[in-house]
Chain A
Amino acid sequence: MSAAGRIVVVGASLAGVRTAKALRRKGFDGPLAIIGEEDVLPYDRPPLSKQFLTADEPALKPLENEEFYDGVELRLGQRAVGLDRTAGAVRLADGSKVTGEHVVIATGTRARSLPLLPDGERVARLRSAADAARIRAALSSARHLLVVGGGFIGCEVAASARSLGIEVTIVEPASAPVVRGVGEWVGGVLADVHRDHGVDVRLGVSVADAEFGSSGVSVVLTDGSQVETDFVVVGIGAEACTDWLDGSGVPLANGVVCDDRCRVVGGGGRIWAAGDVARWPSGTFGGDRRVEHWTNAVEQSAVLAANLLDDAADLRHDPVPYVWSDQYGHKIQIVGDVGARFETTLLRGSVAERRFAVAYSDHGVLCGVVAFDLPREVVQKRPLIASAARMADVS
């Protein structure tokens, strides 16, 4: 095994913890450190916008139980502030250094902020457990919630708030929710689903001004209309947490630039990256990608661990992307590439019944599927997407 020395994982994220787990599972029994900024046992994020907000007794879902960290140097509540890439030394906020033969960058992303609506008593973004706890507390007394941004996080928070009986307005500058993700057609269905459940969906507008009063927030939209609300959740996307790498020589481009073996470019084979923070060239789908999906973090960390421990493994990370969203009891699943630029075809089911699957194709080649409550379609089409099947052969 080529990695006898210490391995330092920066980021107690899904990618970070799964990398550690895969390293141990593959037989690495040397020193292993995980550095995490948050002061809680590493936990799973998908429930934060769903069950964590709506359950009677909210509980974080730990990624691994405490015993997993026996024999792991788990340094929580410690932020990495710098990296000496040639020495493999990670500098922490308290001035200490953790040095490894290998360094794994898994610092993830942070939610983008909106200058007009900064975090405060009546405004939150959702990324961490602490954020989710604040939103949950606010929802316990709110009558109205404004969600700024119709991405998946915003849509899920909106659905959770509706299930608690709270009035909700979604403001989205594009022509439909999640347009960049799934295109106009499916985005339009999603807007209808939210309207069916009583959400006031405002499309093609954004926030022009906000005034904070003693009893709430008054938000003016770009069409001149006004929304009075008790609480605002800003969900306008995420950006890679790479500021701690500024000046380190690690190439950054809204993400850490690595190859498809999870090696950071210019890292001398000792610096690695996985999860939301990693940007790598995708052979199958073309171009450089940075993917914020749960499943990508899981798959990429497994590839990383295999390559780190054994040069001969030489595994490529080039998966068919997969992500899901839960809204109003619907399971929405996305597999492959489903951007707005592709042609869409109804494959199965009925939009009116909110149970359907849509194929996305590029010049007659199947590249992705979105399914509403039809998981079987996702299972069946995934291999066809991987093999770039022609639409004429897809049924």
Chain B
Amino acid sequence: MKVEVDLGLCEHQGVCIGIAPDVFEFDDDGGLVVLQPEPPESARVLLEDAEAACPLAAITISG
């Protein structure tokens, strides 16, 4: 499974961080960082929630 964030769309609302803090994080400048671009399968449900909850539809889960 792969997680990608379109940083051109991301507006740093942080909704994904609230849902999956092990995968998403703000860096010191407030930019969004994907900590685990290829997270374990066990995280799928949570990551699909994060994908669905992103107001900008900036997150794509594939594989």
Contact = CB atoms under 8 A, between A and B. Distances in A.
Interface of A: 18, 21-22, 25, 44, 46, 61, 294-295, 298-299, 302, 322, 324, 326, 331, 333, 375-376, 378-379, 382-383
Chain B interface size band reads: 10 to 19
12 contacts: A21-B52, A295-B15, A298-B53, A299-B53, A322-B15, A324-B55, A331-B12, A331-B13, A375-B12, A375-B14, A375-B30, A376-B14
A25 to B, nearest CB: 7
A376 B25 CA distance: 9
Nearest to A378: B14
Contacts of A46: 55
B5 interface: no
Given A379-B14, A379-B18, A18 B52 contact: yes
Nearest to A323: B55
A356 to B, nearest CB: 15
Interface of B: 11-15, 17-18, 26, 30, 48-49, 52-53, 55, 57
A383 B11 CA distance: 21
Given A322-B15, A333-B13, A379 B26 contact: yes
Contacts of B49: 302
B55 A379 contact: no
Nearest to A62: B57
Nearest to A46: B55
Nearest to B24: A379
B18 A382 contact: yes
A180 B55 CA distance: 24
A299 B57 CA distance: 15
A83 B14 CA distance: 40
A109 B54 CA distance: 22
Contacts of A18: 52
Contacts of B15: 295, 322
B44 to A, nearest CB: 11
A295 B26 contact: no
Nearest to A18: B52
B26 A375 contact: yes
B58 to A, nearest CB: 12
Contacts of B18: 378-379, 382-383
A182 B56 CA distance: 24
Contacts of B30: 375-376
Nearest to A376: B26
A333 B52 CA distance: 18
B13 A324 contact: yes
Contacts of B52: 18, 21-22, 298, 302
Given A25-B48, A331-B13, 17 more contacts: A18-B52, A21-B52, A294-B55, A298-B53, A299-B53, A302-B52, A324-B13, A324-B55, A333-B13, A375-B12, A375-B26, A375-B30, A378-B13, A378-B18, A379-B17, A379-B26, A383-B18
Contacts of A22: 52
Contacts of A322: 15
A32 to B, nearest CB: 18
Contacts of A376: 14, 26, 30
A261 B13 CA distance: 28
B14 A295 contact: no
Nearest to A302: B52
B37 to A, nearest CB: 20
A46 B52 CA distance: 15
A144 B12 CA distance: 33
Nearest to B17: A379
B2 to A, nearest CB: 18
A331 B11 contact: yes
A21 B55 CA distance: 16
Closest 5 A-B residue pairs measured CB to CB? A379-B14, A375-B14, A379-B17, A375-B12, A382-B18
